[in-house]
């Protein structure tokens, strides 16, 4: 494993606080120290092994059958009756701890895994009769544009902001788009996604809602806004959608049966430019709809501005797995659990 993978010693203490009983820790994964600690366990006791990322056999991406043959899996599997995977956020990775064990032993999905999977399935399978809306933002435009491309026939309205929104505005003829912070260069994202954006606008233009005004930092340091229709040259970076756009998007989500959020509409970490992200999230929280908030940035906005996870049907922390599922890519961590379930049913 890499040097920057952390030990789980501190995690054992946190886990003990949550479960209300001691959780022992051993700084070993499948060596003699780990096996001895496992053998010493009594009924009702819990043991946390060292981070699997520190095992050399954990990380290389290989087929599940190959991972099942690693010493890591072959050594630990006989020590346990069942395997539970509750790491949906890593379900797209073919690592030994995620895909090796379900090949050789009874395997189950944990509650977080189940909730995340059901939320993703609800989106991709459109399990709703009313309007379905997706709020699309963030700085990694390629990911969300791929999602839009896959869900174009499933989602009724896409409300765009962030870098993705500016890319679509550029395709619509407006000279917007600047490099902000440590994001991938705007022009590079434009060239990579241009064909897909133009295709989406041609095929699903009526479903794609773009900002009509944008916010920027004024000379006095405050927030100012421009009408998109009046932008005729690129002179400044825009850091949020404008007030009219926020009100438009709020009206759309309030009339929706299901709303999914992927990415922030602006630089919400700055109080001046939180209006888009926070305003739309608050409207969703107040609406009686099925709502999924996905992505680390958006989840952070929920916490930062006084909202609660309970205000939404689900707040996802899955990141890459969330995106891959929405783009239609299979998740190997799910596939091996499904295969294990079928095997267990045959053997029952």
CA-CA distance, 37 to 304, in Å (whole number)? 41
230 is in an annotated binding site: no
Q: Label residue 90 left, alpha or beta by phi (over 0 means left) and psi (-120 to 50 means alpha).
A: alpha
Matching residue, tokens 């190997």: 332
Nearest by Cα to 273 from 234, 325, 212, 221: 221
Radius of gyration of the chain (CA): 23
- Is 58 marked as binding a ligand? no
d(CA 57, CA 345): 30
User: Is 296 within any annotated ligand binding site?
Assistant: yes
* Cβ proximity of 85 and 107 under 8 Å: yes
- Are the CB atoms for 139 and 180 separated by under 8 Å? yes
Token pair listed for 115: 């909730």
Identify the sign of the CA torsion 115, 119, 121, 122.
positive
Closest CA to 41 of 62, 26, 61, 63: 26
Residues forming a β-bridge with 109: 85
SS3 177: coil
Neighbouring CB atoms inside 10 A of 55's CB total 21
Residue 297 marked as a ligand binder: yes
Q: How far is CA 41 from the centre of its chain?
A: 36
**Is there a binding annotation on residue 338?**
no
Distance, CA of 67 to chain centre: 25
Binding-site residue numbers are: 269, 295-298
Binding-site residue numbers for ATP are: 269, 295-298
């Amino acid at each position: 494993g890499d040097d920057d993978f952390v030990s789980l010693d501190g995690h054992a203490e946190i886990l003990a606080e949550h479960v209300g009983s001691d959780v022992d820790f051993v700084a070993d994964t499948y060596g003699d120290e780990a096996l001895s600690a496992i053998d010493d366990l009594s009924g009702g006791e819990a043991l946390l092994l060292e981070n699997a990322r520190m095992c050399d056999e954990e990380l290389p991406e290989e087929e599940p059958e190959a991972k099942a043959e690693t010493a890591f899996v072959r050594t630990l599997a006989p020590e346990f009756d069942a395997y539970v995977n509750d790491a949906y956020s890593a379900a797209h990775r073919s690592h030994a701890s995620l895909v090796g064990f379900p090949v050789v032993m009874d395997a189950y999905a944990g509650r977080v895994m189940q909730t995340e999977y059901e939320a993703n399935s609800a989106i991709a399978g459109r399990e709703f009769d009313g309007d379905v809306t997706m709020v699309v933002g963030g700085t990694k435009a390629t990911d969300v544009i791929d999602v839009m491309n896959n869900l174009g026939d499933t989602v009724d309205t896409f409300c765009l902001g962030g870098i993705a929104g500016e890319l679509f505005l550029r395709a619509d003829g407006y000279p917007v788009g600047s490099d902000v912070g440590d994001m991938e260069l705007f022009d590079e994202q434009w060239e990579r996604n241009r064909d897909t954006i133009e295709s989406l606008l041609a095929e699903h233009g009526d479903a794609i809602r773009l900002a009509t005004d944008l916010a920027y930092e004024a000379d006095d340091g405050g927030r100012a806004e421009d009408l998109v229709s009046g932008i005729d040259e690129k002179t400044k970076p825009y850091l949020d959608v404008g007030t009219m756009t926020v009100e438009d998007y709020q009206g759309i989500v309030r009339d929706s049966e299901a709303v999914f959020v992927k990415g922030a509409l602006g630089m919400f970490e700055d109080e001046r430019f939180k209006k888009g992200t926070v305003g739309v999230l608050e409207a969703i929280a107040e609406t009686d709809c099925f709502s999924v908030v996905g992505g680390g940035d958006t989840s952070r906005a929920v916490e930062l501005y006084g909202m609660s996870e309970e205000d939404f049907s689900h707040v996802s922390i899955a990141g890459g797995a969330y995106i891959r599922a929405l783009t239609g890519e299979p998740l190997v961590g799910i596939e091996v659990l499904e295969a294990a379930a079928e095997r267990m049913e045959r053997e029952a």
